[in-house]
Structure 1
Amino acid sequence: MKDLHTRHKAVLPDWLALYYGEPIELTHGEGRHVWDAQGRRYLDFFGGILTTMTAHALPEVTKAVAEQAGRIIHSSTLYLNRPMVELAERVAALSGIPDARVFFTTSGTEANDAALLLATAHRGSNQILAMRNSYHGRSFSAVGITGNRSWSPTSLSPLQTLYVHGGVRTRGPYAALSDAEFTEACVADLRDMLGQTRGVAALIAEPIQGVGGFTSPPDGLYAAFREVLEEHGALWIADEVQTGWGRTGDHFWGWQAHARSGPPDLLTFAKGIGNGMSIGGVVGRAEVMNCLDANSISTFGGSPVTMAAGLANLTYLLEHDLQGNARRVGGLLIERLRAICAQLPCVREVRGRGLMIGVELVRPGTDEAHPEAAAAVLEAAREGGLLIGKGGGHSTSVLRIAPPLTLTVAEAEEGAAILERALREV
């Protein structure tokens, strides 16, 4: 393993992050478990950054991939593609957006890139509103709208980005307000900002901020924002790369917690739909999706193999009510973690929805983020046989827990027990 790590450092850039003091190589997985090159088994509570949404080595998906690969692997969007059309039909129907069109990409970053292109072209403006503490990808344009310093390596951007309050409920200048007062203050901030712009193209927002530490506003905030945006003709882009496909349990899409004003104009997705295959995309109103006046294609977006995987995965997810399982098992897990962490002075908050849970760590007796503790808990959990993630706004002090949606009650209890030992040890 040390040899592979040495080779990794010799040919890959220093900024390519690796977990753990001694990084591990994952060689195979099954269900909610993975194994490393030394043969050690781990309960996977991070799923390749929320990507292995259903299960590792899900037979229905691996069979669909193998069968499609045996027919044709690649063609590009220059030719009719049956699996792509079939998946687009299902995504359009599930999106809640009337007369929807779908464009497939290979990642969430590229999906957000496409949404930004569509919104700015449709509105004839390069002004974008984004949320503080947000993360939208690693491309040049996506970095330019990311409100999280840890993941924004440059201030250069093709867009003019203005950052809005509201993505983090329990920190910032409005934290002490009630939910209704918080929403009112954020809406007032948005109105004030729009009054000083020259025609904003869109607001892009994650219903639950993923990399930012699984933070979210009160339900209904984005519906209130949407009403103000419509007064100015601006669009609403919901970044559902991490929240989509039922992970939050209560809803199939994160935007549905803010559904008073209807669906977003554009919705981006990726990660879980492919269960590990590279699928991203944007779905939106035909008027916006059809606005480009130049030709375009996607060489790898909508690949027959990835589309076959997405169809099989989506079918399994719906037929087995994995959204309901995320609600039931996730609800048990978050209450178990809250009970554990209530006794620990280093835990500021346990938050989340469904199987998307954040545990924020601070220096005891303060509100100061404690990234060293988060890193130590990550290591201790791995030693105990549990893989989790980390994130957060000003520093990576939030433990991120997002297992595959087939997680059982017994596995939730096992993972909670390992995490409790790790937290107490640290």
Structure 2
Amino acid sequence: MSDDLLARHRAVLPSWMPIYYPDDPIEIVSGSGRRVVDQHGRSYLDFFGGVLTNMIGYDVPEIREAVERQLATGVVHTSTLYLIRRQVELAEKIARVSGIPDARVFFTNSGSEANEAALLMAANLRRSNQILAIRNSYHGRTLATMGVTGHRSWSASSLNPFSVSWLHSGDRVRGLLASLSDSDHIDAAVEDLREVLATQTAGDVAALIAEPIQGVGGFVHAPDGTLGALKKVLDAHGILLISDEVQTGWGRTGEHFWGYQAHGVTPDLLTFAKGIGNGFALAGVVGRAEVIDAVPAISFSTFGGNPISTAAGNAVLDYVLDHDLQANAARTGAILLDGLRAAQPDYRILAEVRGRGLMIGLEFVHPGTTEPDAASTVRVFDECRRNGLLVGKGGLYNNVLRMGPPLTLTEDEAREGLQILVNAIATADAEAVTL
């Protein structure tokens, strides 16, 4: 890099902060639509969107103009001790689209904070520090959210303010439930929940926190209806359901506006972040008034829901609804998913193509096995970059390519990205060694 930005980065930032392409990292210096440009002037089609955050893409006039109008007032911050018009407007819209009756909204800065707040609310209402969580999950980097994260790579501390009991994930490649049919999987998940409640808890559990599709875990998800079946058991015990929609919300899955809607269930609390700000720091919790109002002391978020971020959030949500981006996610996601699934039998290393809409995961294994192949994953990852496509990585064993393109992706861009992906997989597959 011309000014040795990588060396400067390493000199002042933590060693535990990963950076993609460590030998030749990218500095993104400009963007437009679904494409970004690096420090060398190289253009890329972006299929990761700042970790599913640049949901509408780059340089969107409606969002820029909304933020500029707020900046022109001279008011960037007031705190929630004063009325914030844009915050109230956005809360009204989110309450309306949440599907939760008598909803209230609390804004934060990040998904970690949103999940932390939801856990606080559930624990206060239920007067319990017992939480159910899912293996292979990720809920944030704060102490409490790390404590309910079932993914060792992201668990930096064993200290935990909650007593956590773990349920099986929806992994269909490996694990105890992997070989079951959808109906048998749901039945087994329900029995697992009943047994966990009977053997691992003191009875008065506060909540189950679950991602409808596990993000960092590699876009793993249980069969449709699983959360609904679990909720019947939860309701019988008075246990709340927190749906972590930080990555699955706002129509990304194509079939539904929220991930929870695939399960025939309505959560007590729903957390959101990432895409709603399209790069501006904006997140929060929406839930039933009884649950949201369970906090027994004064609390607020200094920067959560500030005038700038909520001006952006209003513009983002309006854009999503006005342009029916949910339908576009279904349409362009089908091009990618159908194309990848059609190609899958040709490649020994590609164990599973999974996801919904524009939330797509590719799991790579050593040929002829279910053993995770992180090296082939990196090879596909690097080959995509070499040919002008940015994707992400994840999964419990770091062997999953994760893709969450902007919801404005065009059909031509989907086909362009598909061709790069298939070519990259073919290259890695030809080089893979059978164990």
TM-score tier, shorter chain, comes to over 0.9
**Matched-pair identity in %:** 57
Q: 2:28 aligns with which of 22, 26, 29?
A: 26
For residues 25 and 323 of structure 2, the distance between their equivalents in structure 1, rounded to whole angstroms, comes to: 35
For residues 138 and 163 of structure 1, the distance between their equivalents in structure 2, rounded to whole angstroms, comes to: 18
Look up the SS of the partner of 2:229 in the other structure.
helix
Partner of 2:431: none
Partner of 2:47: 45
- How much has 1:324 moved relative to structure 2? 0.2
Q: How many residues align?
A: 423
For residues 300 and 192 of structure 2, the distance between their equivalents in structure 1, rounded to whole angstroms, comes to: 39
- Give yes or no for the alignment of 1:264 onto 2:288: no
- Give yes or no for the alignment of 1:281 onto 2:272: no
- How much has 1:337 moved relative to structure 2? 1.2
- How much has 1:320 moved relative to structure 2? 0.5
- On the 8 A contact 1:61/1:309 being kept in 2, the answer is yes
CA RMSD of aligned residues (A): 0.9
- How much has 1:230 moved relative to structure 2? 0.8
For residues 51 and 258 of structure 1, the distance between their equivalents in structure 2, rounded to whole angstroms, comes to: 24
Look up the SS of the partner of 1:352 in the other structure.
strand
Partner of 1:188: 191
Which ranges of structure 1 fall in alignment gaps of 5 or more residues? Answer: none
- How much has 1:315 moved relative to structure 2? 0.5
Look up the SS of the partner of 1:195 in the other structure.
helix
- How much has 1:166 moved relative to structure 2? 3.5
- How much has 1:341 moved relative to structure 2? 2.5
Which residues in structure 2 correspond to 1:190-209 (within 5 Å)? 190-196=193-199, 197-198=201-202, 199-209=204-214
Partner of 2:148: 145
Partner of 2:136: 133
- Give yes or no for the alignment of 1:242 onto 2:244: no
Q: Which stretch has the larger CA shift, 289-298 or 240-249?
A: 289-298
For residues 214 and 43 of structure 2, the distance between their equivalents in structure 1, rounded to whole angstroms, comes to: 30
Look up the SS of the partner of 1:103 in the other structure.
strand
For residues 144 and 163 of structure 1, the distance between their equivalents in structure 2, rounded to whole angstroms, comes to: 11
Look up the SS of the partner of 1:74 in the other structure.
coil
- Give yes or no for the alignment of 1:106 onto 2:109: yes
Partner of 2:310: 307
Q: 2:219 aligns with which of 214, 217, 230?
A: 214
Partner of 1:379: 382
Give the letter for the 1:361 counterpart: F
For residues 419 and 185 of structure 1, the distance between their equivalents in structure 2, rounded to whole angstroms, comes to: 35
Which residues in structure 2 correspond to 1:144-163 (within 5 Å)? 144-163=147-166
Give the letter for the 1:168 counterpart: D
- How much has 1:292 moved relative to structure 2? 1.2
Which residues in structure 2 correspond to 1:10-89 (within 5 Å)? 10-20=11-21, 21-71=23-73, 72-89=75-92
- How much has 1:377 moved relative to structure 2? 1.3
Deviations 1:130-173 (A, max 9, x none): 00000001111111000011111111111111110133234211
- How much has 1:6 moved relative to structure 2? 0.2
Which ranges of structure 2 fall in alignment gaps of 5 or more residues? Answer: 429-435
For residues 170 and 163 of structure 2, the distance between their equivalents in structure 1, rounded to whole angstroms, comes to: 20
Look up the SS of the partner of 1:128 in the other structure.
strand
Q: 1:323 aligns with which of 326, 333, 336?
A: 326
For residues 385 and 177 of structure 1, the distance between their equivalents in structure 2, rounded to whole angstroms, comes to: 39
- State TM-score, norm by structure 1: 0.98
For residues 192 and 425 of structure 1, the distance between their equivalents in structure 2, rounded to whole angstroms, comes to: 46
- On the 8 A contact 2:211/2:244 being kept in 1, the answer is yes
Partner of 2:231: 226
Partner of 2:6: 5
- Give yes or no for the alignment of 1:97 onto 2:100: yes
Partner of 1:401: 403
- On the 8 A contact 2:243/2:260 being kept in 1, the answer is yes
Give the letter for the 2:11 counterpart: A
For residues 365 and 292 of structure 2, the distance between their equivalents in structure 1, rounded to whole angstroms, comes to: 44
Q: Which stretch has the larger CA shift, 334-343 or 281-290?
A: 334-343
Look up the SS of the partner of 2:26 in the other structure.
coil
Q: 1:391 aligns with which of 391, 394, 418?
A: 394
- On the 8 A contact 1:131/1:167 being kept in 2, the answer is no
Give the letter for the 1:417 counterpart: Q
Partner of 2:433: none
- Give yes or no for the alignment of 1:171 onto 2:174: yes
Look up the SS of the partner of 2:343 in the other structure.
helix
Look up the SS of the partner of 2:346 in the other structure.
coil
- State TM-score, norm by structure 2: 0.96
